[in-house]
Structure 1
Amino acid sequence: MTENEIGTLAIASAIAVHRELGPGLLESVYQKALLYELIQQGLSVKAQVNIPVKYKREIMDIGFRADILIENKVLLELKSVEKIQDVHKKQVQTYLKLTRLKLGYIFNFNTPLLKNGIVRCVNGLDD
């Protein structure tokens, strides 16, 4: 399955979660529900995946964690905030760079329509 195919399933799953739960809950609630939906799609998923930082020859485990990793190909960062900020986009871009993954998404569940809270991030592209 390609990154884009996985991304399509992730978006559909996130929309299903948002339709069921609505906005205003904690990120951890959306994470559990989204993990359930993704597993129901038959996808391999991991939660709170450690992202080590390599500095010169040193590998530093400093606590960076991706909310969800799908099929070891697509990274999801979940938010429940008023508005996605530039720092959130930079965070995902950095995670993609550190993991050498190509595709990531930010899902902000604190919006009336989830489609307005989805940001697609591609490794190497800053917007």
Structure 2
Amino acid sequence: MHEAHKENISEQEISKIVFDCALKVHKSLGPGLLESAYEECLFYELKKTNLIIEKQKPLPLIYEDVKLEVGYRVDIIIENKFIVEIKSVEAINDVHLAQLLTYLKLTDCKLGLLINFNVKLLKEGVKRVINGTL
């Protein structure tokens, strides 16, 4: 697959790697499975890239002076700077996009991909979400 250069890999490069891995998973499995199945398979593919990949990473919420362990979890975070949120839904809506943007803001990440695997063609299920400017 991809040999990633960990040093200074850009969000755009990570985005391409994630899309390629997601495409491989989608071609193999097709639509209609649970999010957890796609997450495990995508995580497996991404681990082959030698990037730092974490799944179901707890995301504490800091509100003013209070740190709340509220149970938010990022599906997949790559190199501590790129978030992948996985869905298997009829359609992506604004709330899904807003959720990913909130996760990006809470982690200071600049870019994330929202991937809905429940589509005929994967490219129709992928949305880029940008926090600020890249």
TM-score range, shorter chain: over 0.9
Shift of residue 124, structure 1, vs aligned partner: 3.0
Shift of residue 9, structure 1, vs aligned partner: 0.2
CA RMSD of aligned residues (A): 0.9
1: CA distance, partners of 2:89 / 2:64: 35
Counterpart code for 1:108? N
Alpha carbons 2:81, 2:108 under 8 Å: kept: no
Tell me whether 1:69 sits opposite 2:77 in the alignment: yes
User: Equivalent residues in 2 for 1:33-72 (5 A)?
Assistant: 33-72=41-80
2: CA distance, partners of 1:124 / 1:34: 26
Q: 1:25 aligns with which of 26, 33, 39?
A: 33
**Identical aligned residues as a percent:** 48
2: CA distance, partners of 1:74 / 1:30: 18
Shift of residue 40, structure 1, vs aligned partner: 1.2
Normalised TM-score (structure 1)? 0.95
2: CA distance, partners of 1:5 / 1:68: 16
User: Equivalent residues in 2 for 1:72-87 (5 A)?
Assistant: 72-87=80-95
Tell me whether 1:102 sits opposite 2:110 in the alignment: yes
Give ranges in structure 2 of 5+ residues lacking alignment. Answer: 1-8
Counterpart code for 2:107? T
Q: 2:12 aligns with which of 1, 4, 17?
A: 4
Shift of residue 42, structure 1, vs aligned partner: 1.7
Detail structure 1 runs of 4+ shifted over 2 Å in the superposition: none
Structure 1 residues 51-104: Cα deviation after superposition (integer angstroms, max 9, x where no partner): 111111111110111100011111000000000010000000000011110011
1: CA distance, partners of 2:59 / 2:44: 23
1: CA distance, partners of 2:48 / 2:63: 38
**What is the number of equivalent residue pairs in this alignment?**
125
Normalised TM-score (structure 2)? 0.91
Structure 1 residues 29-63: Cα deviation after superposition (integer angstroms, max 9, x where no partner): 00110011101122211010111111111111101
